[in-house]
Amino acid sequence: MPQIAEIIKYEGDNSTFIWKHPCEDFNSLTQLIVHESQEAIFFMNGQALDLFGPGRYTLETQNIPKIGKVLNRATGDKTPFHCEVYFINKTEQMSIKWGTDSKVQYIDPQYGFPLAIGASGEMSLRAEDSRKLLVKLVGTENHLGQQKLVSFFRAFLMTRVKTYIAQVIKANAINIFEIDENLTAFSENIHKLLIPDFDDYGIALERFFVTTIVKPDGDRQYEKFKELHFRQYADIAEAKLRQQTDLIYAQTEAQKVVIDSQAQATKRAQEGYTYAQERGFDVAEKVAQNEAVGQFTNMGVGLGTMAGVGGAVGGVVGNAVNDAMNAAAETPTVQPADDTATFKAKVEKLNIMKESGLISEEEFNEMKAKLLSDII
């Protein structure tokens, strides 16, 4: 018994974009089954009549069983009512590789020297407008797969991609030495520029990735600028490290001073004298070692004044002055030739003792008056 109706469907691989069903010139009542993620276009008499989404459909043609055979005798047993079905795969097809066929020539926006780079990556495509894709690219062919589609787009893709790469680098001022860290934004910008080009053919460019930039390694000029670029960052990093090291050293030295001061303060507290008393002792000891006791006698500085420093320091000062006076007793006193110069020197010594806290303001004035009376 001859078959009256057909069942037309497609269950193929996912690398196919468009597939033409081999059954043609089928009879009316033929069943069309379209799966999810598919579309089907019904052609009759050379025209794309209907676009079918997922579901089951009954096709109506001008081919009628038995009666059609009688009518076909006039055309050599071929039906004049030609019909066919194309299936379009609407899934996103990923990991489609691309790459520039030659170097992209451009001027580096930061350093201003000419460069030639290559680029490659992956993209994913999806059939967006089935009718446009079928009419513009497929025509009457039976099959359109991934490789064939990419070959269709290769020429214009290479032209567009190389142009867009140079434009994006210039617009975003991306220098060649920082391009790898900007690959995500770089890819997104080129992707946006390419979308309208694919859309003209009914293809959606879902994703576009630049995964590799081929740099002109080994080129003398490129290597020169590469060294200069990385040297500037190395110098900055070295300067920062040196600054941090100096700061740590200064903080360490300051901490040492604080610790030493605390230790000295503890020592003074334990021995029963203050910082002012310690300074007074230093001054008195210096004066006692370098000046004749006769001068102290002339200035009116006695043991009682030195002892007024107080505590252990006063005792030491007193002993130092005593020793100086004993030595002076054995040495004849020599009067200075110039009384005015002697007076000035003694007043200066008195002033030092006053500032060191050895004598009070009142004692200073008394001693100064006595010195003045001695030379008048």
> Would you kindly state where each structural domain of the chain is located, as residue ranges?
7-89, 93-126+142-216, 220-271, 275-375
Q: What is the pLDDT of residues 205-243, one digit of tens each?
A: 999 999 999 998 888 888 888 888 777 776 776 777 778
What pLDDT is recorded for position 130?
92
- The length of the chain, given as a count of residues: 376
Q: What is the pLDDT of residues 102-161, one digit of tens each?
A: 889 888 888 888 889 999 999 999 999 999 999 888 887 888 998 888 888 888 888 889
Euclidean distance between CA atoms 210 and 193, whole angstroms:
14
Euclidean distance between CA atoms 323 and 332, whole angstroms:
16
Contact 84, 50 (CB under 8 A): no
pTM over 0.75: no
Q: Domain 93-126+142-216, CATH 3.30.479.30 — does that match?
A: yes
Structure tokens at 30: 């033929």
